């Protein structure tokens, strides 16, 4: 099954950030989106997640435009922003309760994605007391509550230690192997190595990019843009 992003446009005042951004993704695939700071990568993910309105375009899944079908989008798309959108006064468990049905929560903690992420180890800790890695794992667990088909990830392991990074990337790999599709905004070598294809967002338009695993080549590409 395939999702298709068609001609997404977005302006901030007179600044045209996205000028007709398009790409495709298939189930079981991982697409890496590259680009300089401020080029519109996070804006694009926010639009696809329904957080931000666009000025035009479509996000097609099962012959439906997810930009116009909020109910289907909520079931289909999970979104992990750069920050950690948690209620800090609540415990990890209570944050999860905002997203999960009770039975699904217990099942995931016992043998599902929350167990894989290690969230069961800090369930009763308030979010404000969690480390950065714990908050990120909890945020990812919340994003996967509805068993989405597509995950949108904005630099998901930035500034995390290697053990936490590996745990999160293993979870994403399991998600992909089970048929999920991922879109990752990243410049991280580990994250990029997960991807099947890479795109460079430049001047508001997507361009295919052949990432060879060499960061110096990627840096040169970004500098030239």
pLDDT in tens, 70-79: 999 999 999 9
Mean confidence (pLDDT) of the chain: 92
CA distance 92 to 17: 36
At 193, the pLDDT band (50, 70, 90 cuts) reads confident
Q: Is the pLDDT of residue 36 over 90?
A: no
Q: What is the pLDDT of residues 46-55, one digit of tens each?
A: 999 999 999 9
Contact 19, 205 (CB under 8 A): yes
Kindly provide the residue ranges of all beta strands, DSSP E only, lying in the chain, ordered along the sequence: 2-12, 15-26, 30-34, 56-61, 64-65, 77-80, 150-154, 181-185, 197-202, 205-209
- Please tell me the predicted confidence (pLDDT) of residue 113: 96
Domains and CATH numbers, the chain: 2-84+148-224 (3.40.50.300)
> Tell me: the pLDDT tens digits for 133-156?
999 999 999 999 999 999 999 999
Q: Closest Cα to residue 206, out of 53, 2, 4?
A: 4
Element (H, E) at 97: helix 92-97
Q: How far apart are CA 95 and CA 65, in angstroms?
A: 29
pLDDT at site 217 = 66
């Amino acid at each position: 099954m395939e999702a298709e992003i068609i001609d997404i446009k977005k302006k901030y005042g007179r600044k045209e950030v996205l000028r007709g951004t398009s790409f495709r993704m298939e189930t079981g695939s991982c697409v890496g989106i590259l680009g300089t700071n401020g080029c519109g990568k996070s804006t694009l993910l926010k639009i696809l997640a329904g957080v931000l309105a666009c000025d035009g375009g479509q996000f097609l899944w099962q012959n439906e435009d997810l930009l116009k079908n909020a109910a289907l989008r909520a079931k289909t798309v999970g979104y992990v922003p750069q920050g950690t959108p948690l209620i800090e006064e609540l415990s990890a468990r209570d944050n999860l309760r905002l997203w999960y049905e009770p039975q699904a929560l217990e099942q995931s903690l016992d043998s599902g994605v929350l167990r894989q992420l290690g969230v069961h180890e800090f369930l009763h800790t308030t979010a404000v007391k969690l480390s950065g890695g714990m908050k990120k794992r909890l945020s990812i667990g919340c994003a996967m509550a509805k068993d989405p088909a597509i995950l949108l990830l904005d630099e998901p392991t930035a500034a995390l230690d290697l053990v936490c990074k590996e745990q999160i990337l293993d979870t994403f790999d399991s998600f992909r192997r089970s048929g999920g599709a991922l879109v990752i905004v990243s410049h991280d070598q580990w994250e990029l190595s997960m991807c099947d294809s890479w795109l460079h967002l430049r001047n508001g338009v997507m361009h295919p990019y052949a990432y060879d695993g060499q960061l110096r080549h990627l840096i040169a590409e970004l500098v030239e843009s």
